[in-house]
Chains A and B, each alone.
Chain A
Amino acid sequence: MTHATTLRFPMNRVEGDLEIEAEIAGGLVADAWCSGTMFRGFEQILAGRGALDGLVITPRICGICGTAHLTAASRALDGAAGVEVPDNGLRLRNTALMIEHLQSDMRHAFLMFMADFAGPAYLQHPLHEEAVRRYTPFSGETTIETVHETKKVLEIVAIVGGQWPHSSYMVPGGVVSVPSESDLIQCFHLLARYRRWYEKRVLGCELERWDAIRSAADLDVWLEEKNEHRQSEVGFYLRFARQAGLDAIGKGHGNFLSYGALDLPRQTKVKPVIEGDMRLVPAGFARGAAIEAFDHEKITEHVAHSWFEDPGGARHPLDGSTSPYASGREGDKYSWAKAPRYDGAPAETGPLAEMIVARRPLFLDLLRKAGPTVLVRELARLTRPALLAPVVETWLREMSDDGDGFYNRPGEIVEGVGIGLTHAARGALGHWVKIQDRKIVHYQIITPTAWHASPRDDNGIRGVIEEALVGTPVKDASNPIEIGHVIRSFDPCLVCTVHSVSKHGSRTLIRL
């Protein structure tokens, strides 16, 4: 008979409070439960407030994804007001959002995900010493460089937003901050600096060379082509991760969701990725590599296993509610996160989902050959800046040349319904708002982490992280590093809840 052990541990290095319970039998994760341990309540805070208040309150949900929440709130109000955003308004909104991605992708990769490579679990790994040099928390060479470079590139958001932090320049109808010619030149310089660092340190090659990689075989050729490629962060990541077995864990359900994001201006040199989809990040839902058209009506939230009042089955966010309910069924209910589903199915979102839905050849090939493993998922995040940076350059240039405006006045929003879909760095983010008599009567938010860290749904189907953990080998239950890799590959961010400074040593955490 197999002996089963249950591990419960707080998941640090994620936003807010996430606790994972994993049952381990025969050295493998047999089952897992993912629990958000803190009620957020932003939906309640917003109800009854003025129509535009989501623009100010929702960016404060998160210290990392503030621009993404501002984008979603603005898009929801664009819809409620029935106003179109002029081309330069789109360019500026997109630029700010993409800069947030450029920063977040690198910080997650080098400060959080690869910090594990420098830990004691990998003392015997042949590349451990080099990992320590690069990624030791707070002192590793790559760590410090990443802090410097990502701090610098974020200045673009401060410039185009006219204020930072707590920028509120996005409004229904566009943006109210119009950058001057010298502002745009400064942005060019900041972006050029980031690109130089990214090409030299992260890729070890120019973006164009990376863009030529179309398959797993091409990737292997690239890796062996030059020492610069092998020593780059991507090259080192591939070598370390393969030897650590990250190419075999964390596969999960294999469903991928993209709401679509970054609307293309009507006049732009940037071409749509998928013909007919006028967004840089196309929308779609994929079961494996089989991609279907996206329909927002198919999004529902389940609460059978969440500490919320059940409105009578799964509901679309415009019809659902967020009423805390923590009595009666504690045996079944175990999370303050709801369970979002698309067409009844759990779905992964984020950089890998974006690559699959956009039919990026390299990632489709990796998916076919190995599945959506930890290695592939993190590779997608690590290399997304290669797609975004050149587009930001183009849109900064077009902002300078295009005489089109930044803002169309929407008029007062007395009544309306708005759906604000976009992508945060971690994946699909949605705001749903109903306005009556100039007041918000209903607001629902589904974050990317709600998709990933969801509990089981009404049908008992596991959430994305829960499913991805099943089958994960655990060599050392006192330091289950493999579980940490799987969870962190989704970059969970359970919103900004409490951020107090704790006295050193006052809490005992099992560090993953």
Chain B
Amino acid sequence: MSCQHERRIICAGNRYVPQDDIGPRVFDCLSRRDLPADVCVIDGGLMGLDLLRFVEGARRVVFVDALQGFAPPDLTVVLGHRAALEERPAAYGHDGGLACLLRMLPAVCGEALPEIALVGSEPPAGEDLIEKLADLSLRIAMGAVVQETRS
């Protein structure tokens, strides 16, 4: 179903694969909290391009996913709007997931493109890190200025 909230946190990944479960665990963590009224959290799973419908109509979207190659495990990584959209796979594929979605967003959304941020960490992630990622994604969704962190 579509989402009417202006601020959205979309958690991507596969909860049954340890190397890819950061997004779903952050989703679980946020689902246990009382969230501000204009924020919704979405379990984006492996939906990749199909998550477009949750991006449209939003003012700010924070994606949460397992990241690879940005920083060692245990560190949080935040990419702001421009940097997130610069993550460029060469082509769309079954394995493209979030990277393909980010690459496609400007062409598909045009002027309606919301403010985007990407939050994540290299797996494996302990519970403390999951809590930290949940805090971070919520703060950014609520409008905190994105302080980019990456190695």
Q: Which residues of A come within 8 Å of B, CB atoms?
A: 12-16, 42, 45, 57, 60, 62-64, 66, 107, 111-112, 115, 137-139, 143-144, 147-148, 151, 154-155, 158, 163-166, 493, 496-504, 506-507, 511
In the assembled complex, how far is the CB of residue B123 from the closest CB belonging to chain A, in whole angstroms? 7
Q: Given the complex, which residues of A lie within 8 Å of B92, measured CB to CB?
A: 13, 107, 111-112, 115, 137-138, 143
CB pair B16–A163 under 8 Å, yes or no, is no
CB pair A500–B104 under 8 Å, yes or no, is no
CB pair B95–A502 under 8 Å, yes or no, is no
CB pair A498–B17 under 8 Å, yes or no, is yes
Complex Cα–Cα for A42 and B103 (A) = 30
CB pair A155–B53 under 8 Å, yes or no, is yes
In the assembled complex, how far is the CB of residue A226 from the closest CB belonging to chain B, in whole angstroms? 30
CB pair A501–B68 under 8 Å, yes or no, is yes
Complex Cα–Cα for A147 and B106 (A) = 12
Closest 6 CB pairs of A and B: A63-B46, A13-B93, A503-B69, A15-B94, A506-B69, A499-B97
Residue of A nearest to B91 (CB): A137
| Known contacts A13-B92, A154-B50; A138/B20 CB under 8 A | no
Which applies to chain A's interface (DSSP): helix, strand, loop or mixed? loop
Complex Cα–Cα for A63 and B70 (A) = 25
Q: Given the complex, which residues of A lie within 8 Å of B99, measured CB to CB?
A: 501-502
| Known contacts A165-B44, A497-B17; A12/B49 CB under 8 A | no
Q: Given the complex, which residues of B lie within 8 Å of A111, measured CB to CB?
A: 92
In the assembled complex, how far is the CB of residue B133 from the closest CB belonging to chain A, in whole angstroms? 14
Residue of A nearest to B90 (CB): A511
Q: Given the complex, which residues of B lie within 8 Å of A497, measured CB to CB?
A: 14, 17, 20
Complex Cα–Cα for A12 and B108 (A) = 23
Q: Given the complex, which residues of A lie within 8 Å of B1, measured CB to CB?
A: 158, 163-164
Residues of B in contact with A, size category: 35 or more
Q: Given the complex, which residues of B lie within 8 Å of A164, measured CB to CB?
A: 1
CB pair A138–B104 under 8 Å, yes or no, is yes
Contacts beyond the supplied A45-B16, A137-B91, A143-B92: 18 A-B pairs with Cβ under 8 Å: A15-B95, A63-B50, A112-B94, A137-B92, A138-B103, A165-B43, A165-B44, A496-B17, A497-B17, A498-B17, A499-B20, A499-B48, A500-B19, A501-B66, A501-B102, A503-B68, A503-B70, A506-B69
A–B Cβ pairs within 8 angstroms, 30 of them: A13-B95, A45-B16, A60-B16, A63-B45, A111-B92, A147-B49, A147-B52, A151-B49, A151-B53, A154-B50, A164-B1, A166-B43, A166-B45, A493-B94, A496-B46, A497-B20, A498-B19, A498-B66, A499-B46, A499-B95, A499-B98, A500-B20, A501-B98, A501-B120, A502-B69, A502-B87, A502-B99, A503-B70, A506-B68, A511-B90
Q: Given the complex, which residues of B lie within 8 Å of A158, measured CB to CB?
A: 1-2
Q: Given the complex, which residues of A lie within 8 Å of B108, measured CB to CB?
A: 144, 147-148
Q: Given the complex, which residues of A lie within 8 Å of B103, measured CB to CB?
A: 138
Q: Given the complex, which residues of B lie within 8 Å of A137, measured CB to CB?
A: 90-92
Q: Which one of B12, B49, B87 has the highest number of Cβ atoms from chain A below 10 Å of its Cβ?
A: B49
| Known contacts A138-B103, A147-B49; A498/B87 CB under 8 A | no
Residue of A nearest to B49 (CB): A147
Q: Given the complex, which residues of B lie within 8 Å of A60, measured CB to CB?
A: 14-16, 45-46
CB pair A498–B50 under 8 Å, yes or no, is no
Complex Cα–Cα for A493 and B96 (A) = 12
B145 located at the interface, meaning its Cβ lies under 8 Å from any Cβ of chain A in the complex: no
Which applies to chain B's interface (DSSP): helix, strand, loop or mixed? mixed
Q: Given the complex, which residues of A lie within 8 Å of B87, measured CB to CB?
A: 501-504
Q: Given the complex, which residues of A lie within 8 Å of B96, measured CB to CB?
A: 13
B55-103 at interface with A (beta carbon < 8 Å): 65-70, 86-88, 90-100, 102-103
Residue of B nearest to A493 (CB): B94
Complex Cα–Cα for A53 and B70 (A) = 36
CB pair B94–A14 under 8 Å, yes or no, is yes
- Choose from B66, B94, B97 the contact partner of A13 (Cβ within 8 Å): B94
Q: Given the complex, which residues of A lie within 8 Å of B120, measured CB to CB?
A: 501
Q: Given the complex, which residues of A lie within 8 Å of B12, measured CB to CB?
A: 499
Residue of B nearest to A41 (CB): B16
Complex Cα–Cα for A64 and B48 (A) = 9
B114 located at the interface, meaning its Cβ lies under 8 Å from any Cβ of chain A in the complex: no
Complex Cα–Cα for A112 and B12 (A) = 22
- Choose from B86, B88, B100, B123 the contact partner of A500 (Cβ within 8 Å): B123
| Known contacts A163-B1, A502-B69; A63/B48 CB under 8 A | yes
B114-143 at interface with A (beta carbon < 8 Å): 118, 120, 123
Complex Cα–Cα for A60 and B12 (A) = 12
CB pair B93–A14 under 8 Å, yes or no, is yes
| Known contacts A13-B93, A15-B94, A45-B16; A500/B68 CB under 8 A | yes
B107 located at the interface, meaning its Cβ lies under 8 Å from any Cβ of chain A in the complex: yes
Residue of B nearest to A137 (CB): B91
In the assembled complex, how far is the CB of residue B85 from the closest CB belonging to chain A, in whole angstroms? 11
B47 located at the interface, meaning its Cβ lies under 8 Å from any Cβ of chain A in the complex: yes
Residue of A nearest to B12 (CB): A499
